[in-house]
């Protein structure tokens, strides 16, 4: 099945936005065994959209459009489709009912924009949208199915599963994803060896995104090759498919009936935020202390003020004490602490930007064990903080596995 996709929106062409739909569609269509023939990005101009649809129809069995279905006057995709079909727009009675029901709960009145969103070209039908006010539209023209979906990724992706997948007539291919954190891209590639060859079956593609090194295995035998990659990437491979580090760590904790607390300086709450991003995190996460200022490190955790003078807040001693006191005062099985220099300011020759100490206290045994490890992360402020969170979570995961491997960016201290 030949599928052509079209993203619509001025913001995708004037430097404000980035079109991510094209690549997302490619992955989904490959998964469903369809051929992604072409992707286009055009502006919110009704004639441009019309011309693109007319040009693309002969090349496709299914034409997928996204964007330009919002409530404002520059949302013109439905008008362009009406031009192609050579029909007018009409109000959809069921859509009006649904919209009124939806908005009545919020106490907001029906505006002119909302009224635009319940119009569709005569002879087409609406596709429900559970995450927004803009329904999609399905038309059939010259033997081609034409589907209009709203642009916001969350709405679009959910509607793709519900409304587009049933239209896809492809051959499913086996697919497995392995995700890892803490080894470099080069190291990950070398460990794969022959598996990374482009002419192999199943095909192994790997990529790095937000410091997560991921392998996608596609084709017959993907599951077996996935298991081999997990072994080659041990102990850094933490999960399959859409697993995240916080989820995997949370599951491990819950399985052991253990819990965790945090004390955060340079991450300022992001580690707690990551752990509580997991549904049901109250099972394993108790809480924590954001001791961003040195005064609060002393007041909330009892860190002796003299330490800030002698070894500094970014030090093994402070990371150790933070983790230990957090576990003791909050009464949890494990505690993680972070203290570092996220930048852009604050670096010194001894402790350049990116220097972070992560502490871990483990009270699961007969005696509490507390360790601290030093990292020198590359990247800007956001990356340093993100890598700190991921390294702390991987440290806890490895601790539960009794593995002492060194992580990427870790330095002798």
Are 331 and 348 in contact by the 8 Å Cβ rule? The answer is no
The values of phi and psi at residue 308, to 5°, are -65, -30
Q: How far is the CB of 233 from a second copy (least distance, A)?
A: 14
Nearer to a second copy, 123 or 344 (CB): 344
The reply to whether 196 sits near a second copy by the rule CB under 8 A is yes
Which 201-220 residues touch a second copy, going by CB under 8 A? 205-209, 216, 218
The span from the CA of 399 to the CA of 393, in Å, is 10
Which among 142-150, 184-192, 363-371, 394-402 is the span making contact with a second copy, rule CB under 8 A?
A: 184-192
Cβ proximity to a second copy, 223 vs 382, nearer residue: 382
**96 lines the binding site for a second copy (CB under 8 A):** no
What whole-number distance in Å separates Cα of residue 393 and Cα of residue 181? 10
Q: Which residues pair with 375 in a beta bridge?
A: 356, 410
3-class secondary structure, 33: coil
Query: At closest approach, how far in Å is the CB of 330 from a second copy?
Result: 7
Considering only residues 284 through 303, tell me which ones interact with a second copy, judged by CB under 8 A: 285-293, 295-296, 299-300
Cβ closest to a second copy, residue 43 vs residue 405 = 43
Among 1, 2, 37, 254, which residue sits at the site for a second copy (rule: CB under 8 A)? 37
Q: Which CA distances in Å does 394 have to 12, 314, 315, 336?
A: 36, 20, 20, 11
> Shortest approach of a second copy to residue 277 CB, angstroms?
7
What are 176's strand-pairing partners? 217
Our CA dihedral for 317, 323, 326, 328, rounded to 10 degrees, sits at -90
Task: Provide the mask over 7-36, with x wherever binding to a second copy is found by CB under 8 A and - wherever it is not.
Answer: --xxxxxxxxxxx--xx--xx-xxx----x
DSSP string, 217-256: EESTTHHHHHHHHHHHTTTTEEEETT--HHHHHHHHHHHT
Binding window for a second copy (CB under 8 A); candidates: 79-87, 164-172, 181-189, 357-365: 181-189
Inter-residue contact 385 to 353 (CB < 8 Å): no
Structure tokens given for 258: 């253990």
243 binds a second copy (CB under 8 A): no
- The dihedrals phi and psi of 52, each to the nearest 5 degrees, come to -65, -45
Residues with Cβ within 8 Å of 370's Cβ and at least 6 positions away in sequence, in order, are 320, 323, 324, 359, 360, 361, 362
- Minimum CB distance to a second copy, residue 3 (Å): 10
Selected from 172, 279, 366, 367, the binder of a second copy by CB under 8 A is 279
The contacts of residue 386 (CB under 8 Å, 6+ apart) are: 210, 211, 270
Q: Which residues contact 122 (CB under 8 A, 6 or more apart)?
A: 82, 85, 87, 88, 89, 90
Shortest distance in whole angstroms from residue 273 CB to a second copy: 4
Stretch of 137-145, 160-168, 271-279, 359-367 lying at the interface with a second copy (CB under 8 A): 271-279
Please state the closest distance from residue 15 (CB atom) to a second copy, in A. 4
Can residue 150 be called a binding residue for a second copy (CB under 8 A)? no
Q: In the window 325-384, what residues touch a second copy (CB under 8 A)? A: 330, 343-345, 379-383
Nearer to a second copy, 135 or 138 (CB): 135
| 97 in contact with a second copy (CB under 8 A) | no
Q: Is 184 one of the binding residues for a second copy (CB under 8 A)? A: yes
165 makes contact with a second copy (CB under 8 A): no
């Amino acid at each position: 099945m030949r599928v052509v996709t079209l993203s619509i929106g001025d913001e995708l062409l004037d430097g404000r936005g980035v079109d991510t739909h094209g690549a997302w569609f490619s992955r989904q269509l490959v998964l469903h065994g369809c051929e992604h023939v072409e992707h286009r990005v055009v502006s919110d101009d009704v004639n441009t959209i019309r011309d693109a649809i007319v040009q693309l129809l002969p090349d496709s069995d299914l034409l997928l459009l996204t964007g330009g279905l919002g409530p404002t006057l520059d949302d013109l995709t439905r008008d362009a489709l009406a031009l192609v079909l050579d029909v007018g727009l009409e109000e959809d009675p069921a859509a009006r009912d649904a919209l009124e029901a939806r908005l009545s709960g919020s106490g907001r009145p029906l505006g002119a924009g909302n009224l635009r969103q319940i119009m569709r070209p005569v002879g087409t039908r609406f596709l429900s949208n559970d995450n927004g006010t803009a329904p999609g539209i399905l038309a059939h023209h010259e033997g081609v199915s034409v589907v209009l979906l709203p642009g916001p990724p969350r709405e679009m992706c959910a509607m793709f599963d519900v409304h587009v997948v049933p239209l896809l007539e492809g051959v499913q291919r086996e697919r497995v994803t392995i995700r890892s954190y803490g080894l470099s891209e080069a190291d990950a590639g070398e460990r794969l060896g022959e598996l990374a060859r482009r002419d192999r079956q199943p095909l192994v593609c790997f990529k790095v995104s937000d410091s997560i090194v991921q392998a996608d295995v596609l084709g017959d035998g993907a599951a077996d090759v996935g298991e081999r990659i997990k072994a080659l990437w041990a102990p850094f491979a933490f999960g399959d498919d859409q697993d995240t580090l916080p989820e995997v760590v949370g599951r491990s904790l819950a399985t052991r009936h253990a819990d965790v607390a945090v004390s955060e300086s340079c991450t300022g709450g992001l580690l707690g935020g990551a752990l509580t991003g997991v549904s049901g995190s109250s099972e394993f996460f108790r809480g924590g202390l954001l001791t961003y200022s040195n005064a609060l490190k002393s007041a909330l955790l009892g860190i002796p003020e003299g330490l800030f003078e002698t070894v500094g807040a970014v030090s093994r001693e402070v990371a150790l004490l933070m983790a230990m006191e957090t576990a003791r005062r909050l009464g949890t099985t494990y505690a993680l602490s972070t203290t570092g220099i996220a930048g852009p300011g604050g670096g010194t020759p001894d402790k350049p930007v990116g220097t972070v100490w992560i502490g871990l206290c483990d009270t699961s045994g007969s005696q509490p064990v507390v360790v601290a490890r030093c990292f020198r992360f590359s990247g800007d402020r956001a990356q340093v903080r993100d890598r700190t969170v991921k390294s702390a979570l991987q440290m806890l995961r490895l601790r539960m596995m009794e593995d002492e491997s060194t992580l990427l960016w870790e330095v002798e201290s």
